[in-house]
């Protein structure tokens, strides 16, 4: 965007990039016309996909899409909804035709900083540090619940543990933690379509920048055992690491999966006592419970992909730049892939029991799709010196924490009269449980 | 526990909040940023409040977010006059290739073409709606209007509810009595549809129009379009052999009707296909009805609510043109057009990736206070509005600007001139036949306060009850 702008006849300056070499642009037009573009969709109105019903329980609407309009053009939201399992996964691994855009794009802050989250040293530090910390942190949260004899698993455990881990990893001073967590959450929510959240998030990013600037300088001269110091040791070609890079790395990390999966796992276990008995009997079954949770009630219910160029898929020609909403929620309940998909079964026989590498099936079985984790490794055989994938790390963390919780609170049950439910705070945010009161 | 988690837990039961109806001209408070900039909630675009009272919201967009990235609708809203004209003139950089905006209901039309392809097709039938061809059609437009008004006596005698006589006064509902059918009659006449096709015409027209946007009604739209296609293809085959003509008052053939003309049109040496002809006709059917109906209804509503200006128009016929253009500036029937940017662009500091949907809001351009002083008021004598002959190149000289109701640039509405003639010719005849006319305000829909008349908003007046002296 550094090229000089072109001044138009009204004095409006429009900066532009030259067109890319692509196929003739009239093709979209021709195909749209030939196919009469929109199918008639009497069974669903696009406004329903923004409604409160969708926010609370998206599954009935997603089923309509999957069974009747597998590639649905939502003219109101100017996007396509993709819902069958095989189609969603095919887009998800198709980097050539579909791109993700970073959270900074949704903020319109592309120049804010660089994301260092995929650097080897950062991944290694995260993995090692998380492994060391998770048991102790989970135990202290569980002990606190045990000593009170009651509590809320969703807020006092599932939501709290990821924040504790984060603060430890970034070595945030005890007195700053509350403010730091607040800013972190505000920054994460700011990618929303809601203007108050956008605005709030923007401010939070600025505040985080203000917080990290002195911290970065301090740790540059006195490196410690923390993620910021690790990042600072990294020497990118484009110049030394700045506070902006630290903030962007924090923003771009997977915000939903650990929190959402823990809350949803415990919601499902506590509302399915038989499955709970299975899961608490064996650490391996707890892992399967976690995997089944990501399938049955994934917290990141959909992911956005943009067409890099005009591409023909799913019986339609997708124009360049088109937004495709890949719905994990719908795909994970696809009856073509999973038997009786609405049932929560810890030891499900048709769900892949290990990390799929390079694709979404392994051992002949499909996995649940959980987008927050990023796509599976593009190297089916991960070299030994690589750290665990984020997928595996989040899984191990969640399973360990859940195991600690179930061991500590042997007699846990849902508080009498409690009617927990899953819901998003606003349409498009993580779909999880916000209140799960228990007795123990 | 972190306080942030408690706060989030509290908001987790929050419902999807509709927007309250506001007094016209005032916006709902959608929050304010720290620096005082008002925030803009994109849910407003789907709310009933926005449909009746859109202008204060557009003002917020113009003042604070001239290119507004609406993440809910995955769209960029462009609201300033200057920016919109810029984009309209640049049909390479801001193309009209659809992402399904008309959802196949209208079909293969030049609405969704750009560049050479567009120019070539547009002129095929556009030429029949302008200049001498248009002048030749005016007598038939006049005749049609007179016939419709003459029929009022008959309706009153039959006890129709939209033409009622009481003593020396007659009360009519202008829509049913005139504006609903008049434009359709003109379109039939211009196209050369046989009289008996008119009944079907309402079906095609209504179904296709309502099928354009919505999902439930889309199927009817496509079915109606198929029905129209079947019908027209029959006519086209017939006219290819036996062309039909328009006649002047003396009964002499003056020119071929549009279908007959299109039948003998060649592009690159080849005759137009039946499908191409049908699509163009579907577009005329769609474009020629509702917009002109809305124009007639809005024009009479506005004029009668501004009696001094109505008087000025009655005193000098030349003022009908001013009244017409000012009405289109003040409350037109077409809100705007979608465009897709061919390249990555940056406007007003907003980066728009190539291929994004950009909504050019003509409504907002017409109310841009950077161009039109005191834009919310209806004033046929305003100094800053150009009300001469419409030009594709636009008009912007000596502080006068054209309104954007017909757009500007290569895609300027090809029906602009005929719509102008229909509305003005029809209204002139109406004016002579409705002495001492006034609005029956007690039968008009009311605003939220229950007293003042309901605002026009972004939909044109549905019903207009008029009372006048019987001649």
Over residues A339-351, the pLDDT tens digits come to 999 999 999 989 8
Whether residue B225 lies inside any domain: the answer is yes
Q: Which residues of B are less than 8 Å from A57 in CB distance? A: none
Average pLDDT value for residue range A250-271: 93
Q: With the CA atoms of B318, B320, B323 and B329 taken in that order, what torsion angle do they form, in degrees rounded to the nearest 10?
A: -100
Whether residue B238 lies inside any domain: the answer is yes
- The residue in chain B having the minimum alpha-carbon distance to the alpha carbon of residue A4 is B346
Inter-chain contact A425–B40, Cβ cutoff 8 Å?
A: no
Domain that holds residue B311: 84-327+414-469
Of B104, B108, B343, the CB nearest to A38: B104
What pLDDT is recorded for position B109? 62
Q: Is the pLDDT of residue B235 over 50?
A: yes
What pLDDT is recorded for position B82? 93
Inter-residue contact B439 to B432 (CB < 8 Å): no
Q: Which of residues 185-214 of B touch A (CB under 8 A)?
A: 213-214
Over residues B50-90, the pLDDT tens digits come to 988 999 999 999 999 999 999 999 999 999 999 999 999 98
Q: How far apart are the first and last CA of chain A?
A: 59
Top residue of A2, A7, A12 to mutate, by most chain B CBs within 10 Å, is A12
Listed range (A383-387, B21-25, B59-63) with the worst mean pLDDT = A383-387
Q: How many CB atoms lie within 10 A of CB B450?
A: 6
What pLDDT is recorded for position B369? 94
Q: Which of residues 55-84 of A touch B (CB under 8 A)?
A: 55, 73, 75-79
Q: Which residues of B are less than 8 Å from A50 in CB distance? A: 43, 46, 72
Q: Is the pLDDT of residue B237 over 80?
A: yes
The third-level CATH classification (topology) of the domain covering A120-439 is Cytochrome p450 (1.10.630)
What pLDDT is recorded for position A1? 39
- Residue with the larger pLDDT of the pair B298 and B392: B298
Q: Which of residues 394-423 of B touch A (CB under 8 A)?
A: none
**Residue entry with tokens 């206070």:** B369
CA nearest neighbour of A292 among A321, A255, A333, A330: A333
What pLDDT is recorded for position A34? 46
Tokens for B421? 């003639």
Q: Is the pLDDT of residue A357 over 80?
A: no
Q: Which residues of B are less than 8 Å from A80 in CB distance? A: none
Q: Which of residues 240-279 of B touch A (CB under 8 A)?
A: none
Q: Which of residues 151-210 of A touch B (CB under 8 A)?
A: 154-156, 159-160, 163, 177-178, 181-182, 185, 192-196, 199, 203
Q: Is A40 on the interface with B (CB under 8 A)?
A: yes
Q: Is the pLDDT of residue B192 over 90?
A: no
Label residue A26 by pLDDT band (50, 70, 90): very low
Label residue A234 by pLDDT band (50, 70, 90): confident
ipTM, interface predicted TM-score of the complex: 0.83
Q: Which residues of A are less than 8 Å from B5 in CB distance? A: 155, 159-160, 163
What pLDDT is recorded for position A171? 93
- Residue with the larger pLDDT of the pair B19 and B426: B426
Whether residue B242 lies inside any domain: the answer is yes
Q: Which residues of B are less than 8 Å from A262 in CB distance? A: none
Mean pLDDT of chain A: 86
Over residues A293-321, the pLDDT tens digits come to 999 999 999 999 999 888 888 888 788 88
Q: What is the CATH number of the domain that holds B173?
A: 1.10.630.10
Q: Is A431 on the interface with B (CB under 8 A)?
A: no
CA nearest neighbour of A29 among B42, B139, B107: B107
Question: At what angle are helices A177-189 and A243-252 packed, to 10 degrees?
Answer: 70
Q: Is B92 on the interface with A (CB under 8 A)?
A: no
Over residues A30-53, the pLDDT tens digits come to 445 444 445 567 788 888 998 889
Whether residue B333 lies inside any domain: the answer is no
Q: Is B116 on the interface with A (CB under 8 A)?
A: no
Average pLDDT value for residue range B93-112: 62
What pLDDT is recorded for position B214? 57
Top residue of A321, A419, A423, A433 to mutate, by most chain B CBs within 10 Å, is A321
Whether residue B65 lies inside any domain: the answer is no
Mean pLDDT of chain B: 85
CA nearest neighbour of B206 among B191, B194, B217, B193: B217
Q: Is the pLDDT of residue A230 over 70?
A: yes
Q: Is A304 on the interface with B (CB under 8 A)?
A: no
Inter-chain contact B97–A35, Cβ cutoff 8 Å?
A: no
What pLDDT is recorded for position A23? 45
Inter-residue contact A341 to A298 (CB < 8 Å): no
What pLDDT is recorded for position A386? 63
- The residue in chain B having the minimum alpha-carbon distance to the alpha carbon of residue A202 is B33
Inter-residue contact A420 to A271 (CB < 8 Å): yes
Of A14, A78, A185, the CB nearest to B345: A14
Label residue A376 by pLDDT band (50, 70, 90): low
Over residues B343-365, the pLDDT tens digits come to 888 899 898 988 888 999 999 99
Q: Which residues of A are less than 8 Å from B1 in CB distance? A: 155-156, 160
Closest approach of B119 to chain A, Cα-based (Å): 15
Q: Which of residues 26-45 of B touch A (CB under 8 A)?
A: 30-31, 33-34, 39-43
b/e code B69-92 from CB counts within 10 Å (16+ = b):
bbbbbbbbbbbbbbbbbbbbbbbe
Q: How many CB atoms lie within 10 A of CB A210?
A: 13
Average pLDDT value for residue range A275-294: 93
- The residue in chain B having the minimum alpha-carbon distance to the alpha carbon of residue A21 is B343
Inter-chain contact B343–A73, Cβ cutoff 8 Å?
A: no
Q: Is the pLDDT of residue B249 over 50?
A: yes
Q: Is the pLDDT of residue B115 over 90?
A: no
Label residue A18 by pLDDT band (50, 70, 90): low
B382-388: long-range pairs with CB below 8 Å, 24+ = B382/B326, B385/B322, B385/B325, B385/B326, B385/B329, B386/B325, B387/B321, B387/B322, B387/B324, B387/B325, B387/B326, B388/B321
Q: Is the pLDDT of residue A24 over 60?
A: no
Q: Which of A118-122, B62-66, B107-111, B196-200 ranks highest by mean pLDDT? A: B62-66
Q: At B83, give phi and psi (nearest 5°).
A: -65, -40
Whether residue B121 lies inside any domain: the answer is yes
What pLDDT is recorded for position B201? 80
Instruction: Please state the domain extents for chain A.
Output: 120-439
- Residue with the larger pLDDT of the pair B450 and B12: B450
Closest approach of B409 to chain A, Cα-based (Å): 12
Q: Which residues of B are less than 8 Å from A260 in CB distance? A: none
Average pLDDT value for residue range A372-397: 66
Whether residue B73 lies inside any domain: the answer is no
Domain count within chain B? 1
- Residue with the larger pLDDT of the pair A385 and A186: A186
Share of chain B above pLDDT 90, in %: 38
What pLDDT is recorded for position A358? 59
């Amino acid at each position: 965007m550094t090229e000089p702008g072109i001044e138009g006849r009204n004095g409006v300056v429009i900066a532009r990039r030259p067109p890319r070499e692509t196929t003739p642009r009239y093709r979209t037009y021709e195909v749209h016309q030939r196919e009469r573009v929109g199918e008639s969709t009497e069974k669903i109105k696009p406004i329903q996909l923004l409604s409160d019903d969708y926010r609370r329980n998206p599954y009935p609407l997603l089923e309509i899409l999957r069974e009747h309009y597998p590639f649905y053009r939502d003219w109101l939201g100017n996007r396509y909804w993709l819902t069958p399992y095989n189609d969603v996964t095919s887009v998800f691994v198709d980097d050539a035709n579909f791109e993700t855009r970073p959270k900074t794009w949704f903020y319109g802050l592309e120049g804010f900083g660089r994301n260092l989250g995929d650097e080897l040293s950062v991944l290694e530090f995260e993995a090692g540090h998380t492994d060391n910390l998770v048991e102790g942190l989970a135990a202290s949260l569980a002990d606190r619940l045990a000593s009170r004899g009651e509590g809320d698993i969703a807020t006092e455990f599932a939501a709290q543990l990821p924040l504790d881990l984060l603060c430890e990893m970034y070595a945030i001073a005890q007195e700053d933690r509350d403010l730091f967590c607040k800013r972190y959450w505000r920054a994460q929510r700011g990618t929303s379509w809601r203007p108050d959240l956008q605005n709030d998030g923007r401010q939070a990013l600025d505040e985080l920048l203000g917080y990290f600037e002195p911290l970065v300088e301090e740790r540059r001269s006195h490196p410690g055992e923390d993620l910021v110091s690790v990042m600072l040791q990294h020497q990118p070609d484009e110049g030394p690491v700045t506070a902006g890079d630290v903030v962007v790395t924090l923003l771009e990390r997977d915000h939903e999966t650990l929190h959402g999966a823990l809350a949803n796992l415990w919601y499902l276990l506590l509302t399915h006592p038989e499955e709970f008995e299975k899961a608490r009997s064996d650490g391996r079954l707890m892992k399967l419970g976690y995997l089944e949770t990501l399938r049955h009630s994934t917290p990141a219910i959909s992911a956005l992909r943009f067409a890099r160029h005009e591409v023909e898929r799913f019986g339609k020609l997708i124009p360049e730049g088109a937004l495709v909403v890949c719905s994990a929620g719908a795909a994970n309940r696809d009856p073509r892939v999973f038997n009786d998909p609405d049932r929560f079964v810890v030891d499900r026989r048709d769900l892949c029991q290990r990390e799929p590498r390079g694709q979404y099936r392994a051992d002949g079985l499909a996995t649940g799709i959980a987008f927050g984790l990023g796509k599976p490794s593009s190297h089916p055989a991960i070299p030994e010196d690589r750290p665990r994938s984020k997928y595996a790390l989040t899984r191990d963390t969640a399973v360990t924490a859940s195991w600690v919780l179930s061991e500590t609170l042997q007699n846990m049950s849902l508080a009498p009269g409690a009617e927990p439910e899953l819901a998003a705070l606003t349409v498009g945010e993580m779909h999880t449980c916000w209140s799960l009161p228990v007795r123990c | 526990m972190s306080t942030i988690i408690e706060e989030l837990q509290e908001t987790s039961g929050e419902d999807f909040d509709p927007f309250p109806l506001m007094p016209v001209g005032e916006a709902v408070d959608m929050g304010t940023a720290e620096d005082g900039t008002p925030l803009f909630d994109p849910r407003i675009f789907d709310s009933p409040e926005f449909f009746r009272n859109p202008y204060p919201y557009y003002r917020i967009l113009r003042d604070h977010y001239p290119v507004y990235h609406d993440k809910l609708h995955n769209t960029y809203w462009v609201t300033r006059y200057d920016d919109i004209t810029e984009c309209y003139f640049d049909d390479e950089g801001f193309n009209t290739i659809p992402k399904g905006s008309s959802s196949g209901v209208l079909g293969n039309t030049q609405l969704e073409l750009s560049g050479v392809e567009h120019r070539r097709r547009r002129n095929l039938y556009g030429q029949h709606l302008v200049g001498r061809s248009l002048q030749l059609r005016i007598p038939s437009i006049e005749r049609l209007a007179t016939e419709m008004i003459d029929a009022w006596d008959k309706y009153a005698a039959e006890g129709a509810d939209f033409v009622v006589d009481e003593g020396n006064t007659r009360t009519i509902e202008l829509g049913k009595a005139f504006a609903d059918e008049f434009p359709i009659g003109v379109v039939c006449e211009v196209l050369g549809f046989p009289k008996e096709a008119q009944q079907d015409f309402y079906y095609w027209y209504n179904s296709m129009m309502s099928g354009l946007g919505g999902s439930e009604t889309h199927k009817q739209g496509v079915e109606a379009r198929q029905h129209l296609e079947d019908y027209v293809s029959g006519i086209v085959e017939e006219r290819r052999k036996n062309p039909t003509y328009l006649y002047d008052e003396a009964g002499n053939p003056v020119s071929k009707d549009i279908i007959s003309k299109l039948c003998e049109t060649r592009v690159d040496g080849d005759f137009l296909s039946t499908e191409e002809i049908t699509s163009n006709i579907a577009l005329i059917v769609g474009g020629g009805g509702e917009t002109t109906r809305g124009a007639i209804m809005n024009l009479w509503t506005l004029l009668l609510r501004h009696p001094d200006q109505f008087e000025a128009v009655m005193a000098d016929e030349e003022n009908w043109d001013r009244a017409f253009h000012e009405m289109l500036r003040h409350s037109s029937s077409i809100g705007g057009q979608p465009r897709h940017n061919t390249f990555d662009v940056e406007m007003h500091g907003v980066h728009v990736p190539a291929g994004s949907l950009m909504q050019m809001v003509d409504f907002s351009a017409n109310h841009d206070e950077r161009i039109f002083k005191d834009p919310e008021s209806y004033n046929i004598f305003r100094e800053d509005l150009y009300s001469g002959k419409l030009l594709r190149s636009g008009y912007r000289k000596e502080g006068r600007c054209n309104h954007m109701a017909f757009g500007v640039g290569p895609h300027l509405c090809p029906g602009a001139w005929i719509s102008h003639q229909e509305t003005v010719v029809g209204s002139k005849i109406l004016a002579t036949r409705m002495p001492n006319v006034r609005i029956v305000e007690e039968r008009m829909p009311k605003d939220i306060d229950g007293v003042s008349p309901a605002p026009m908003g972004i939909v044109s007046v549905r019903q207009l009850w008029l009372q006048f002296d019987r001649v």
